[in-house]
Every structure is written in C-alpha cells, then in structure tokens.
Structure 1
Amino acid sequence: MSTSPVVSKDEITVPQIIYVLYLAGLLTANVTLLIGVIMAYVYQGDAAPWLREHYRYQVRTFWIGVLYSLIAFVLSLIVVGILIWPLLMIWLIVRCVIGLRDLRRGQPPANPGSWLW
C-alpha cells in the first residue's frame, strides 16, 4: 500500500496559480498565459524535483500552445483553422486540469514531455 507524500500548500501555490493563469488566458486574450510562463521560468530553478516537472509541463504547454495557435491561425486563412481553435481550447483545459490533479496528489505530471496530455 503506497501513501501519497505530504504536500504543503505553500510549495504548490505557485504552480497552482500558473495553471489558473493559463485557464484565465482563455478569457483574457492570452495575457495571463504570458504571465504564467514567465512565472514558470522564474520559479523552476528553486523547486523540488517533482515540482520542476510541473514547471517543465507548464512551459511546454505554453510553447506547444503557441505552435498550435500559429498553425490554427494560418489554417484559418483557408477556413479549416476555425475548427481547430475550439480543439486548442479543449487541449489547454485538459492539460491544466491534469496538471492541477497531479499537483494536488503530490506527484509530477504523468507525461510532461507529451504534446497532447
């Protein structure tokens, strides 16, 4: 029987805020996404190893999201991209929810190098 590690609320506060900023980016024209990725870069160096994986996951979420957004924008010029924008929003929501869940459990994201979830 394994027990989950004791996780203090203080050590998970910043990564939680970053996930929430990413989700808020859906309503704030991505301004909070930029703030979140800057915070992830700033705080990752001093974090515990398992939290570094969350910061890595958050940074990758930002940059992969930028790439997917550029692809959606270019494809929007030929109408196909309009269908990609809702999928991109769902992708971001799922990544943030999975990250928050794992953070609450005191574990690193299951697959921080993934391009999907």
Structure 2
Amino acid sequence: MLKKLCVAAIIFVTTTAFTTNTTVNHQPKKGDVYVINTPKGNEFHTIDFPKLNTLIKRGTVANYKSVYNTPIVITEVGKNNEVTIARKDGKKFFRFYKTVTVDLNKALESGELSLVN
C-alpha cells in the first residue's frame, strides 16, 4: 500500500512540475504586428479565412500558401480578444478579403500567429 502511495505521489509531482500553462494573456492593441505561420493541419482553425471551396468558386487558387509568413496588422480590437486583421502591405487576402477576424489568444496558443518584435 505504501509503495502505491509513493508511486502515485511521484507521478503527481512530476506531471505537475513539467506541465506549463499555455494560456497566453496578451492585450492586443490597434497597430500591433503579427506574422501568419503555417497551420498544423491543412487549414486554419482560429483565423476566419474562407473555406477552400469558396476560394475555388471565386476564381482563386485553392490553398492557403499565399498567406504563410505574411505580416499582418490589427485594425480593430473586439470583445474577448477577437480582433480584425489586415495585411501590412495593404493587399487583400485571396484578392477579395480586405480584413479577417481572429481569436487572438487561440491563434497564439495554436501557433497560427506569432508576435513580431
């Protein structure tokens, strides 16, 4: 019984010692610059880009590679760190979308966005 208790205590201590808090508490401001990173899957989950079939219907190339490593600027800050972003160079996303909405905390946690120093 004592062995099981010791093993359970060791497992508890090691798992709580090595887990990190991944919550990002960044207060966004209008004009902050970020970079769009490559998503982990095939599509973005936290950035509200149009679906690929919508892009095909509008006559653009059906992939998100054109936005990888693109610097973006926050144009509006909404509630719960939901922000509106635009490309820093002034071009439109996929030739049609001037701005896109993003849940900033989730995008930073998932790695889809990163802050530019």
Q: How does the TM-score come out when normalised to structure 2?
A: 0.21
| TM-score, reference length from structure 1 | 0.21
Structure (1 or 2) with the greater helix fraction: 1
Larger Rg over CA atoms: 2
Q: Which has the higher strand share?
A: 2
